[in-house]
A = this chain, B = another copy of it.
Amino acid sequence: MYSTNIEFFGYFAAILTTAAFLPQLIKTLKTKKADDVSLITLIMFICGVGSWIIYGYAISSFPILIANIITLMLNTFILISKIYYARKY
Protein backbone atom coordinates (compact mmCIF):
# COMPACT_ATOMS: atom_id res chain seq x y z
CA MET A 1 0.00 0.00 0.00
CA TYR A 2 2.81 2.38 0.91
CA SER A 3 4.70 1.70 -2.30
CA THR A 4 1.46 2.13 -4.28
CA ASN A 5 1.13 5.63 -2.83
CA ILE A 6 4.72 6.39 -3.79
CA GLU A 7 4.09 5.25 -7.37
CA PHE A 8 0.97 7.42 -7.43
CA PHE A 9 3.08 10.50 -6.61
CA GLY A 10 5.49 9.55 -9.38
CA TYR A 11 2.77 9.27 -12.01
CA PHE A 12 0.93 12.34 -10.67
CA ALA A 13 4.19 14.32 -10.89
CA ALA A 14 4.91 13.07 -14.43
CA ILE A 15 1.41 13.93 -15.66
CA LEU A 16 1.47 17.41 -14.10
CA THR A 17 4.96 18.42 -15.30
CA THR A 18 4.03 17.18 -18.80
CA ALA A 19 0.48 18.58 -19.11
CA ALA A 20 1.63 21.91 -17.61
CA PHE A 21 2.95 23.06 -21.00
CA LEU A 22 -0.42 22.70 -22.75
CA PRO A 23 -1.86 25.94 -21.23
CA GLN A 24 1.33 27.76 -22.34
CA LEU A 25 0.89 26.52 -25.91
CA ILE A 26 -2.83 27.46 -25.94
CA LYS A 27 -2.05 30.92 -24.50
CA THR A 28 0.68 31.49 -27.12
CA LEU A 29 -1.64 30.44 -29.98
CA LYS A 30 -4.48 32.62 -28.62
CA THR A 31 -2.47 35.80 -27.94
CA LYS A 32 -0.21 35.19 -30.98
CA LYS A 33 2.87 36.18 -28.98
CA ALA A 34 5.35 34.75 -26.50
CA ASP A 35 7.85 37.60 -26.23
CA ASP A 36 8.10 37.24 -22.44
CA VAL A 37 8.89 33.52 -22.71
CA SER A 38 12.69 33.10 -22.64
CA LEU A 39 14.13 31.64 -25.86
CA ILE A 40 17.19 30.33 -23.95
CA THR A 41 14.90 28.60 -21.43
CA LEU A 42 12.98 26.89 -24.24
CA ILE A 43 16.13 25.72 -26.05
CA MET A 44 17.83 24.49 -22.83
CA PHE A 45 14.63 22.77 -21.70
CA ILE A 46 14.12 21.02 -25.07
CA CYS A 47 17.76 19.80 -25.05
CA GLY A 48 17.28 18.58 -21.46
CA VAL A 49 14.03 16.78 -22.28
CA GLY A 50 15.75 15.22 -25.33
CA SER A 51 18.43 13.87 -22.97
CA TRP A 52 15.70 12.48 -20.67
CA ILE A 53 14.29 10.61 -23.69
CA ILE A 54 17.72 9.05 -24.44
CA TYR A 55 18.06 8.19 -20.74
CA GLY A 56 14.53 6.73 -20.57
CA TYR A 57 15.19 4.64 -23.68
CA ALA A 58 18.56 3.44 -22.32
CA ILE A 59 17.15 2.32 -18.97
CA SER A 60 13.94 1.02 -20.67
CA SER A 61 11.67 3.27 -18.59
CA PHE A 62 8.36 3.66 -20.40
CA PRO A 63 7.01 6.43 -18.06
CA ILE A 64 10.17 8.57 -18.50
CA LEU A 65 10.07 7.96 -22.26
CA ILE A 66 6.39 8.77 -22.87
CA ALA A 67 6.22 11.78 -20.49
CA ASN A 68 9.31 13.35 -22.05
CA ILE A 69 8.22 12.70 -25.66
CA ILE A 70 4.97 14.60 -24.98
CA THR A 71 6.87 17.36 -23.11
CA LEU A 72 9.30 17.63 -26.04
CA MET A 73 6.45 17.93 -28.55
CA LEU A 74 4.60 20.59 -26.52
CA ASN A 75 7.73 22.69 -25.96
CA THR A 76 8.80 22.38 -29.60
CA PHE A 77 5.35 23.69 -30.64
CA ILE A 78 5.73 26.58 -28.13
CA LEU A 79 9.21 27.37 -29.54
CA ILE A 80 7.99 27.29 -33.17
CA SER A 81 4.95 29.45 -32.29
CA LYS A 82 7.13 31.97 -30.45
CA ILE A 83 9.53 32.33 -33.40
CA TYR A 84 6.68 32.38 -35.96
CA TYR A 85 4.69 35.12 -34.19
CA ALA A 86 7.83 37.16 -33.46
CA ARG A 87 8.59 37.26 -37.21
CA LYS A 88 4.99 37.77 -38.33
CA TYR A 89 3.87 40.56 -35.97
A65 CB, nearest partner CB in chain B, Å: 12
Please tell me if the beta carbons of A9 and B55 are within 8 angstroms of each other in the complex. yes
Enumerate chain B residues within 8 angstroms of A37, measured Cβ to Cβ.
Answer: 24, 36-37
Instruction: List the number of copies, as a whole number.
Output: 2
Assembly CA distance A49 to B38 (angstroms): 20
Partner-B contacts on A (CB < 8 A): 6, 9-10, 12-24, 26-28, 31, 33-38, 40-42, 44-45, 47-49, 51-52, 54-55, 58-59
Q: Is the interface of A mostly helix, strand, loop or mixed?
A: helix
A73 CB, nearest partner CB in chain B, Å: 15
Q: Which of B9, B13, B24, B59 contacts A38 (CB 8 A)?
A: B24
Please tell me if the beta carbons of B6 and A48 are within 8 angstroms of each other in the complex. no
Please tell me if the beta carbons of B31 and A44 are within 8 angstroms of each other in the complex. no
Q: A20-B45, A45-B17 are in contact. Are A9 and B51 (CB under 8 A)?
A: yes
